Amino acid sequence: MLAKKSQYNVAVAGATGAVGRKMLEILAERNFPVANLKVLASARSVGQTLSFKGNPVTVEELNENSFGGVDIALFSAGAGVSRQFAPSAVKSGCIVIDNSSAFRMEPNIPLVVPEVNPEAIGSDPGIIANPNCSTIQMVVALKPIHDNFKIKRVVVSTYQSVSGSGQKAIEELQNQTKNLLDGKSSKPSVYPHQIAFNCLPHIDIFLENGYTKEEMKMVEETQKILGDASIQVSPTTVRVPVFYSHSESVNVETEKPMNAAEVKKILSGQSGIRVVDNPEKNEYPLAIDATDRDEVFVGRIRDDISCENAINFWVVSDNLRKGAALNAIQIAEYLIQR
C-alpha cells in the first residue's frame, strides 16, 4: 500500500527513450507531486541531462540498487529490462508501473486502464502493468459499450504510427521520405520493408497461428482488462507512414440490441473520450489532431449494415501519451488519490 504523503519520490526507468521523456513531460504538465526525481537508463546514457520543470536532471545508471527510498517507479525501458529490475524495485518498497509487455498477462498482476478497470489494482500492488498502446485506446471506447450491451465480438484493424517502434523508426520514416522524394534509394533497417509511402501488415513477430504478437496482445489484453474471456477479438495490426498517433477501425457486435445513435450518446458522456462525428462537415478523428492530446477520439459511429446488434467506429489516440506515458501516470495519480 502506498503511504499517504504530500509528495512522492519518483523514478523513471528508461528515461532517455521516447516514452520515458514523455513521462517526464507529463509529470510536469499534470503537476504530479514529486518530492525527488530519479532518471534512470543504461550505462551508456549515464551523465546525460534531461529536463524536468525547466531544471536539469542527471541520468543515473539503472541497477538493482536504484530504488532505495523511491515510492513509485515508472518503467519504460522494454520487457527484458523490466523483468530484470522491476522485482528489485518492489523489494526496495516501491510500486512499479510497467509500460512493457513483461508482466501484462501474469494472472496475479493487474493490467490497468484507469477509465476502465482501476479496481483491478487491489489493495497492495507491487507491479501494475500498462497495457499495449493499441489495446488501451480500444478498450476505453469498448468499456461503456460492454457495460450497456455486453460485447460478443470485436473485429479491429489498426493503423499504427512509427513512433510505436521508437526513435529509430521515426528517423527511418523521415530519412526514407526525404530520400525517395529526392530520387534516392533508401534501405530499411528498423522494418523489414520500406515504410515511407507504404503500409506493413506486420507488427512484432509472427506466431504459429498466423497472427502477429501485437495482434494476440489485443486479444488477450482486451479480455483481461474487460474481465470477460468470452469476448471474441479478431485483429489485424498494420504499421503506416504516420509519425504519431494510432488509428483503429473497430466493428463491435453485442448480445443486447443497440444502435449507433445510442452508442454515440453513451460515448459522448464518458471521461477520457471525445466524440468527433460530423461527417456532413468532414469532421472525424485524425491522427494529426490527436497528437499531443490526452483524449481518446471516437467518430464514424455507424450501424453495421451487414449484421444486427453491431456498429462500426473509428478511434484515434496519441500512442505515446494515452497509449503509454499518460496511462502510467494516471495509474500513479489513482494510487495517490486512493
Question: Which amino acid would we find at residue 20?
Answer: G
**Dist CA 286 CA 276 (whole Å):** 9
Q: In the block, which residue shows the cell 525517395? A: 180
Residue 3 is given by DSSP the state P
Strands 151-160 and 246-254, bridge-based pairing: antiparallel
> In this structure, are residues 161 and 243 in contact, taking their beta carbons and an 8 Å threshold?
yes
Distances (CA, A) of 180 to 167, 172, 229: 20, 12, 46
Q: Which amino acid is at 216?
A: M
Active-site choice (94, 133, 193, 307) = 133
Considering 94, 146, 193, 246, which one is annotated as catalytic? 246
The DSSP code sequence of 190-244 is: SSSS--TT--BS--S-B-TTS-BHHHHHHHHHHHHHHT-TT-EEEEEEEE-S-SS
Name the H helices within the chain. Answer: 18-29, 79-91, 133-149, 167-181, 213-226, 260-268, 287-290, 326-337
Question: How many angstroms separate the CA atoms of 233 and 137, rounded?
Answer: 15
Cβ–Cβ under 8 Å, residues 36 and 57: no
**Sign of the C-alpha dihedral, residues 23, 28, 33, 35?**
positive
Torsion-angle region of residue 265: left (phi > 0), alpha (psi -120 to 50) or beta?
alpha
Q: Is 146 assigned a catalytic role?
A: no
In 7-68, which ranges are E strands?
8-13, 34-41, 49-52, 55-61
133 as an active site residue: the answer is: yes
Active site residues: 133, 246
